[in-house]
Amino acid sequence: MKFSAEQIAGIINGTVDGNPSVEVNTLAKIEEGTTGALSFLANPKYEEHIYKTDSSVCIVNNTFKPANPLPDSLTLIKVDDAYTCFAKLLEFYDTLKKEEPRIEVNSFIDDTAVIGDNIYVGASSYIGKETVIGDDVAIHPNVTIGPNVTVGDGTVIYPGATIYRDCVIGKNCIIHSGAVIGADGFGFAPNEKGEFQKIPQIGNVILEDYVDIGANSTIDRATMGSTIIRKGAKIDNLVQIGHNVEVGNNTAMAAQTGIAGSTKVGNNVLIGGQVGMAGHLKIGDRVKIAAQSGIGGNVKEDTKVMGSPAFDSDDYKKSYLGFRRLPMILTRLKAIEDTIKKLTKDH
């Protein structure tokens, strides 16, 4: 599908500087632009590329002033915030690729399930008993949705995802391929023989509205009650969230993070990759946790931590500086000891 520079400017409230009729049919990074591509420039580090790009249209900030001549074939669209506007266009572009409403062959929908309007169900997907699917939902091929599940309006579930019984998925959520929502929590108790006896996990998982779940991430059902991922939370790929965990509004965590059972994570928390959290902890609002940190205790709100075991990030950096200098310190200490021994021997 083609769009003119003038049409794009209308979508993002921009001003055209160049040929308003030039058309684009694809998106590209500015350094990889080709004829017919739309790019953007927001970071000054990439400005050098705009003077030699082959893109036909580039979105720039209103404050952009070329330091060198621009390609004759390049048309600019000037906006207040190039990055935000390009993100808006990406979202618009993504909606154009949305699957047309239909139910493909070999999919199974139980007779007791309630299905909304304008939904897409891909081939070989399964929708269980008494499940409720809202309007404008996209369920891609090979998705399994168990009994008594609720899926809110506008949610997208990508191929191979699994949602176990009784779980609640909010509106406009995105669940990527291979994600598992509602598998049993890791609950076992040793008996008198030292053998592990399984503790039934009878709770569920609740994803509130606008939650994103990355590929191959797992969110365990609660032992009792609910594991809850609150509105706007963003979970990266390969994340493990244990039973009865609560993740706050607009909290984001990067890949390979693991959170043990019953830990409560606050609102607007940022968690780097490969972070591990012990169970039954409380992480305050607006906490920032650096990658590969090990969290073994509660973390107060508005703090930054790093390391394993994690502590205040400023103190960690100072401590790490000392650690890096340790070989030099030991060498100097050895020299001082040798000098003391020599002076003692001489006297």
Tokens of 207: 């994803």
- Given a contact cutoff of 8 angstroms between Cβ atoms, the answer to whether 77 and 59 are in contact is yes
Catalytic, 243? Answer yes
C-alpha triplet 256, 257, 258: angle, nearest 5°:
115
Tokens of 292: 């590969």
Which one of the listed residues 140, 176, 243, 280 is annotated catalytic?
243
CA pair distance 71, 50, nearest whole angstrom: 8
Residues annotated as catalytic (active site), given as ranges: 243
